[in-house]
Amino acid sequence: MDKTRRIFLKSLLAGSALLVAESLSGNSLVNMVKAADNEKPSNLPIFTPVYSPGAGFPQSVASGDPTPSGVILWTRVDPSIIQGVSGNEYNPGLMEWIQDSSKSKVNSSVVEAINNGQFIMFEISTEPDFSSTVLRGYAPIYSDFDNVVKIDLDGYLSPRTTYYYRFVTKPGYVSKAGKFKTLPESDAYLSSARFAYISCGDYTNGYFNVLRFIAEEELDFVVHLGDYVYESVGDPTYQNPLPDRQITLPSNTSKAFTIDDYRTLYHTYRSDPDMQKMHENHAIIAIWDDHEFANDTYYPAVAPDDSLESSPARRLTANQVWFEYMPARVTFDPTLGFKDSLKIYRSMKLGNLAELILTDERLYRSSHPCGEGEIGERYLADGCDKIHDPNQSMLGVTTSDQRNWFLNRVKTSTAVWKIWGNEVQFVPLKLLGKYVNLDAWDGFAGERKLISQELKDAGVQNFIVITGDFHTFEANVMKVDYENDPDSSAIGIELMVGSVTSSNLKELIEQAVYGRITNSNPLPLPVMKEIIERFMGPITVISDAIVSEAINKLTSLLRIENPWIKLFDSTTHGYCILELTMNKATWTAYSVDTVKSRNASKRLLWQCEVPQGRTTLNVIAG
Ligand SMILES: [Fe+2]
């Protein structure tokens, strides 16, 4: 057994089902399950559905990180129905079984746990009605991990196939059926791929209409670029979440600090019917941004809005809960400390057509270069020398591991399209001569230049960056040196998605004008007040017309000062689709007309094409 596999198993959750199943049959899981329909494996009960689908599974189901031969399956069982097994008790045993392949008998405590109903049965079928199953197994429900189930099926399924899955408990609670598609073989010819990407869905700020529209799309998978949850739930006495979207944390504070707080966020977000539909219909590939832990966070686990001291225990807690809830193929080992407990940067190949490379821009990054104050330091800043220091790092302030890995993946990829899943804005964003947001790559311009130069020198082609974080739709042309050589040829295209629900710049202006506050502003409210004051003077009349005038002025000023930004819209919410073929990448941005009601429609915002071998952005609609 190689080291990676062993560490992976140590994570308790993912992988355990296979171990159990392998041990149970004394053979491979596939063999056992293939026999399952005709020949019931000895000792093992087959759980049969009794209750209506979904009852007992308050967060429904999810799948993620597809491979050519598998996926991660996820669910959570209502602890009032079943208390699962304790991970601490079971881990040493599981480790022992898998490392000793000569064992053909199942540890009797596992059979006992299955018979006790503390393990769940999962079924995989190519039929939506499960009239036949291609795979069946048992996985522990982990009481120490909030009663979640997480199973890795890598190695057990066929490439480029749509599968349905469900979970059944011993008493007959059956989950809703989920669906996912496996990837093609990593070297296979693939004529096209199509995926959606999103970021920033503040539950309290609106309904997840965007996710419902995504659920209806025909896709290979969905990429989530972070801010899946917001640690801040606000204080309803002065903030204004929708009345039926308020969240009360167990610690009764306005921000998540404890493990119960963070779990409550995920319980609530995943209780949303549109969120559930998206997860049921598509596998997700997720990375985090800051709000899965705390606003504008940086190494070493600093939450600068709360304290400039490191908060390793809080960060470790946030890591654990992300690990519990995200169907991601990552390991979690709390004994390694917050920094090394979890590594989320990873890549996946879509045949020879594309490689998706995802980075972590929060856990290892440097502090803000010019200070942690809001106006003039983190935001709306004149800048400082540190910005241009390549040691001021987004990808790794204490180690260059991630940066080397990233550059190596992009430069050596044999796929036609290199798609970078990047959290924060890559190209510069200046307004009135000031840096708008030094929490983005502008605060790391030295490293940005180093990366861009290296990719240019290596002759990397077909490099597309997908970005979230700023609650704004943008299409940008990336350069090596924006200030001194803006006419140089581009190194790639950045395509930023607006938010699912989080406040955009227009809503931030509304807050400045009308005095409303939300939990998910792309910039602090005082910064926006300052911006409005600078180019509009003191606001004396409060009206929607003033809001429109301000956002229009802001948009055109930003376009003029940042000519590499070709399209910019921060007045709406929505999602993007990237469709890749050998000849071109087609980017489609969709906007929803409201997030304040569930009754919403969507419209095309823009559609653009990037021809293969070029760095031009052709707007074909919108
Ligand atoms: Fe966000």
Question: Tell me: the pLDDT tens digits for 69-85?
Answer: 999 999 999 999 999 88
Q: What is the pLDDT of residue 398?
A: 87
Q: What is the pLDDT of residue 277?
A: 98
Residue 530 DSSP SS3: helix
Q: What is the pLDDT of residue 28?
A: 34
CA of 473 to the centre of ligand 1 (A): 13
Q: What is the pLDDT of residue 24?
A: 40
CA of 299 to the centre of ligand 1 (A): 19
Beta pairing, strands 492-496 & 463-467:
parallel
Query: How high does pLDDT run on average in the chain?
Result: 89
CA of 335 to the centre of ligand 1 (A): 30
* CB contact at 8 A, 510 and 528: no
pLDDT over 70 for what percent of the chain?
Answer: 88
Q: What is the mean pLDDT of residues 263-278?
A: 98
Cis-peptide, bond into residue 241, ω within 30° of zero? no
CA of 522 to the centre of ligand 1 (A): 6
CA of 226 to the centre of ligand 1 (A): 7
CA of 230 to the centre of ligand 1 (A): 8
Tens digit of pLDDT for each residue in 281-300? Answer: 999 999 999 999 999 999 99
The tokens describing 91, both together, are 């881990």
Tens digit of pLDDT for each residue in 405-426? Answer: 999 999 999 999 999 999 999 9
* CB contact at 8 A, 24 and 32: yes
Tell me the pLDDT band of 96, cut-offs 50, 70 and 90: very low
- Residue predicted with more confidence, 561 or 242: 561
Residues 6+ apart with CB under 8 A from 576: 196, 197, 198, 466, 473, 495, 497, 587, 588, 589, 590
Q: How far is CA 579 from CA 70, 459, 596, in A?
A: 22, 23, 29
CA of 520 to the centre of ligand 1 (A): 6
- Among 4-13, 464-473, 503-512, 578-587, the minimum mean pLDDT is found in 4-13
CA of 65 to the centre of ligand 1 (A): 22
Tell me the pLDDT band of 575, cut-offs 50, 70 and 90: very high
CA of 200 to the centre of ligand 1 (A): 4
CA of 228 to the centre of ligand 1 (A): 8
- Among 12-26, 41-55, 77-91, 181-195, the minimum mean pLDDT is found in 12-26
Tens digit of pLDDT for each residue in 519-532? Answer: 899 999 999 999 99
**Smallest Cα–Cα separation from 45: which of 142, 98, 130, 111?**
111
CA of 311 to the centre of ligand 1 (A): 21
**Rounded to whole angstroms, how far apart are CA atoms 114 and 544?**
61
Tell me the pLDDT band of 211, cut-offs 50, 70 and 90: very high
CA of 500 to the centre of ligand 1 (A): 9
**Rounded to whole angstroms, how far apart are CA atoms 583 and 537?**
49
Q: What is the pLDDT of residue 513?
A: 86
CA of 498 to the centre of ligand 1 (A): 9
**Rounded to whole angstroms, how far apart are CA atoms 155 and 153?**
6
- The answer on pLDDT for 251 being more than 50 is yes
CA of 284 to the centre of ligand 1 (A): 18
Question: Can you name the residues that pair with 608 across neighbouring β-strands?
Answer: 587, 619
CA of 403 to the centre of ligand 1 (A): 23
- The answer on pLDDT for 104 being more than 80 is no
Q: What is the pLDDT of residue 485?
A: 84
Question: To which residue do tokens 């989080």 refer?
Answer: 502
Q: What is the pLDDT of residue 276?
A: 98
CA of 80 to the centre of ligand 1 (A): 34
CA of 165 to the centre of ligand 1 (A): 31
Q: What is the pLDDT of residue 99?
A: 31
CA of 286 to the centre of ligand 1 (A): 14
CA of 422 to the centre of ligand 1 (A): 13
Q: What pTM value is reported for the model?
A: 0.93
Q: What is the pLDDT of residue 239?
A: 61
Tell me the pLDDT band of 36, cut-offs 50, 70 and 90: very low
CA of 470 to the centre of ligand 1 (A): 6
Q: What is the mean pLDDT of residues 117-140?
A: 89
DSSP letters along 393-409, please?
-SS-SS--HHHHHHHHH
CA of 189 to the centre of ligand 1 (A): 36
Q: What is the pLDDT of residue 399?
A: 87
Q: What is the mean pLDDT of residues 365-376?
A: 96
- The answer on pLDDT for 105 being more than 70 is no
Q: What is the mean pLDDT of residues 230-237?
A: 82
CA of 205 to the centre of ligand 1 (A): 12
CA of 427 to the centre of ligand 1 (A): 17
CA of 501 to the centre of ligand 1 (A): 9
Tell me the pLDDT band of 107, cut-offs 50, 70 and 90: low
Residues 6+ apart with CB under 8 A from 112: none
CA of 147 to the centre of ligand 1 (A): 28
**Rounded to whole angstroms, how far apart are CA atoms 497 and 370?**
27
- The answer on pLDDT for 145 being more than 60 is yes
CA of 295 to the centre of ligand 1 (A): 9
Tens digit of pLDDT for each residue in 433-462? Answer: 999 999 999 999 999 999 999 999 999 999
- The answer on pLDDT for 586 being more than 90 is yes
- Residue predicted with more confidence, 220 or 622: 220
CA of 515 to the centre of ligand 1 (A): 20
CA of 37 to the centre of ligand 1 (A): 47
Tens digit of pLDDT for each residue in 394-408? Answer: 999 888 899 999 999
CA of 492 to the centre of ligand 1 (A): 24
- The answer on pLDDT for 93 being more than 70 is no
Give a three-class secondary structure readout of 317-380.
HHHHHHHHHCCCCCCECHHHHHHHCECCCEEEEECCCEEEEECCCCCCCCCCCCCCCCECCCEE
Question: Can you name the residues that pair with 138 across neighbouring β-strands?
Answer: 121
CA of 261 to the centre of ligand 1 (A): 19
CA of 291 to the centre of ligand 1 (A): 7
Q: What is the pLDDT of residue 25?
A: 38
- Residue predicted with more confidence, 58 or 238: 58
CA of 574 to the centre of ligand 1 (A): 13
CA of 156 to the centre of ligand 1 (A): 36
- Residue predicted with more confidence, 468 or 398: 468
- Residue predicted with more confidence, 154 or 613: 613
Tell me 45's DSSP state: P
Q: What is the pLDDT of residue 140?
A: 85
CA of 206 to the centre of ligand 1 (A): 13
Tell me the pLDDT band of 237, cut-offs 50, 70 and 90: low
- The answer on pLDDT for 26 being more than 80 is no
CA of 471 to the centre of ligand 1 (A): 6
CA of 424 to the centre of ligand 1 (A): 9
Q: What is the pLDDT of residue 87?
A: 61
> What angle (nearest 5°) sits at the alpha carbon of residue 396, between those of residues 229 and 67?
60
CA of 464 to the centre of ligand 1 (A): 21
CA of 363 to the centre of ligand 1 (A): 16
- The answer on pLDDT for 238 being more than 90 is no
CA of 16 to the centre of ligand 1 (A): 34
CA of 292 to the centre of ligand 1 (A): 10
Could you report how far apart the first and last alpha carbons of the chain are, in Å? 53
